[in-house]
Amino acid sequence: MTWFKRITLFSLTNIAVIFVLTIILRLTGLEQYLYNEFGMPIGFWLIIAVVLGFGGSFISLLLSKTLAIRSTGAHVIDQPRNEVERWLLGSVAAMARKANIATPDVAIYESPDMNAFATGASRNKSLVAVSTGLLQRMGRDEVEAVLGHEVAHVANGDMITMSLLQGVLNTFVIFFSRVIGFIVDKVVFKNERGFGIGYFITVIFAQIVLGILATIIVSAFSRWREYRADAGGAAYKSRGAMIGALEQLKAAHEPHDLPEQLKAFGINGGIGGGIKRLFASHPPIDERIAALQNPTR
């Protein structure tokens, strides 16, 4: 996807969000009621919410490769220095051809953790990085399956989809927290002019609650895309190799030291039990293995 198409997609999504929210508010009569009763600047808040909601996601997407390289200290392989680096470049290039995308940049970063991640602002300007721990502790078939998993993330457009989803949810959180804050300030705190303390306290509280709900939604999508990427790794290498890689990750029992902003993009994201599952970016490895063993289930 070209930069022009990507920016156009972001713009059209912004317009769609504004359009849908405007239609809902108009059809329900809520916009007119809130303006007549409280003088609430619905239109202004809506525009601000979209700009802020999508602005952060768009900037993060554009800078994702640079930030990933700097935060992990990854070495991007321009000219292979040894046989391992030549093998990595060749494997990623072969899988990229199968996926019909441009070959991603390939990088290695120092870490005892068995992990890998993919990031980038587009399918044809992406990065696939693997840890030294993964290279040292997995066999080549399993490493290639992991590379296939990451190439599948790129081919599926997961980075842009996550950014769009996060942008939409950010917009709803920013907009509705202010609507709720305004109503509470006027109805509960009886403030008749401007924005009172009730508004600011309620906005902060509402943003926290709505932000938690948004995080649960993003995490659920992230878990779903991991199943798709596992299927991609199985298709680009083999099902047995992908299952073998996941079994080794399961057996590792170690902390996962990717930076916080990259954990959702690593193959080994870790997961907690109980309520923590709602916020996990990855499904339990047992469930991922079961999905590969029974693909039609």
Q: Where are the domains of the chain?
A: 1-70+157-297
All residues at 6 or more sequence positions from 220 whose CB lies less than 8 Å from its CB, including other chains: 278
Quickly list H helices, the chain: 3-28, 30-38, 42-62, 64-72, 83-99, 132-137, 140-155, 158-187, 197-236, 239-252, 285-293
pLDDT, tens digit (0-9, with 9 covering 90-100), for 33-86 = 665 666 667 777 777 788 888 888 888 888 889 989 999 999 999 999 999 999
Active-site amino acid positions = 150
Dihedrals φ, ψ of 115, to 5°?
A: -155, 170
Are the C-beta atoms of residues 145 and 245 closer than 8 Å to each other?
yes
Are the C-beta atoms of residues 107 and 75 closer than 8 Å to each other?
yes
CA distances from 79 to 76, 83, 89, 129, 225 (A): 9, 11, 10, 15, 32
Distance CA 289, CA 227 (A): 9
pLDDT, tens digit (0-9, with 9 covering 90-100), for 213-256 = 999 999 999 999 999 999 999 999 999 999 999 999 988 765 45
Q: What is the DSSP letter of 25?
A: H
Q: Which of 2-11, 83-92, 186-195 has the highest mean pLDDT?
A: 83-92
- Sign of the torsion formed by the C-alpha atoms of 44, 50, 53 and 59: negative
pLDDT, tens digit (0-9, with 9 covering 90-100), for 125-179 = 899 999 999 999 999 999 999 999 999 999 999 988 888 888 889 888 888 888 8
The pLDDT value recorded for residue 262 is 64
Q: What confidence category does residue 22 fall into, taking pLDDT thresholds of 50, 70 and 90?
A: low
